[in-house]
């Protein structure tokens, strides 16, 4: 049984289907988002917006005050890897940072959705369920992938196995994310299978919207 989502501001707009796309670390969410955009949808990455919010003056100054310049700066610039090491080492620090960033991220996502002229908008949100955002979307989709493939992708990013496990442990597990989602996309089948499945889904939604 799916857990009831927290109440939140709806992100969908009249005439638009807004999909919340999530999945475990290195499951292939960004690839899925790319396939959605190739199929004609508007693609929005919460991680990209989070990077913008991190350096916005109001948030940036509060982050420096909280963690200290020497802790998270390298050559005068915000070092995201050092910041990640700080927040993933202590749940309280991570929750503080998320409480600072999430409201502004949601605000910017909502603005982009309203401005979009596309009928289908897909928001890639790694912490969709953790942040209580499931009820904000028309429906949710989870990308799942074999454990070995996810670890291999994490290593390709330069992470050690230990770093991957720490970051993965800070989120809901793949099975839990999948069980809470309205739909699951498998990223571990034959080449082109994920892309074809997403294209079919977009065609279905476009046709349903025209009725």
Q: What is the mean pLDDT of residues 120-143?
A: 95
Residue 211: predicted pLDDT? 56
Query: Do the Cβ atoms of 94 and 170 come closer than 8 Å?
Result: yes
92-115 pLDDT, tens digit each = 999 999 999 999 999 999 999 999
DSSP-derived 3-state class of residue 2: coil
Fold adopted by 17-206: Rossmann fold (3.40.50)
Q: Domain limits of the chain?
A: 17-206
| Confidence at 123, pLDDT banded by 50, 70, 90 | very high
Q: Cα–Cα distances in Å, from 80 out to 47, 96, 99, 186?
A: 12, 16, 17, 30
Q: Cα–Cα distances in Å, from 13 out to 22, 51, 52?
A: 20, 25, 24
Q: What is the mean pLDDT of residues 27-50?
A: 97
DSSP secondary structure string, 97-154? HHHHHHHHHHHHHHHHHHH---SEEEEE-TTTTTTT-GGGSSEEEEEE--HHHHHHHH
181-211 pLDDT, tens digit each = 999 999 998 889 999 999 999 999 988 876 5
Q: What is the mean pLDDT of residues 29-42?
A: 97
| Confidence at 14, pLDDT banded by 50, 70, 90 | confident
């Amino acid at each position: 049984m799916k857990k009831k989502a927290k109440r939140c501001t709806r992100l969908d707009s009249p005439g638009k289907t807004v999909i919340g796309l999530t999945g475990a670390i290195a499951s292939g969410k960004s690839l899925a988002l790319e396939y959605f955009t190739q199929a004609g949808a508007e693609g929005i990455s919460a991680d990209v917006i989070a990077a913008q919010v991190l350096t916005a003056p109001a948030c940036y100054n509060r982050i420096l005050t909280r963690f200290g310049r020497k802790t998270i700066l390298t050559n005068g610039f915000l070092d995201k890897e050092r910041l990640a090491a700080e927040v993933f080492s202590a749940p309280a620090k991570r929750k503080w940072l998320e409480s600072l960033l999430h409201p502004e991220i949601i605000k910017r996502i909502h603005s982009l959705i309203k401005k979009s002229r596309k009928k289908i908008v897909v928001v890639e949100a790694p912490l969709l369920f953790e942040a209580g955002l499931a009820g904000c979307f028309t429906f949710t989709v989870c990308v799942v992938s074999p454990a070995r493939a996810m670890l291999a992708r994490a290593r390709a990013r330069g992470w050690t196995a230990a770093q991957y496990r720490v970051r993965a442990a800070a989120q809901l597990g793949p099975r839990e994310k999948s069980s809470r989602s309205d739909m699951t996309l498998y990223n571990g089948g034959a080449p082109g299978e994920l892309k074809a499945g997403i294209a079919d889904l977009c065609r279905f939604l476009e046709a349903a919207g025209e009725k």
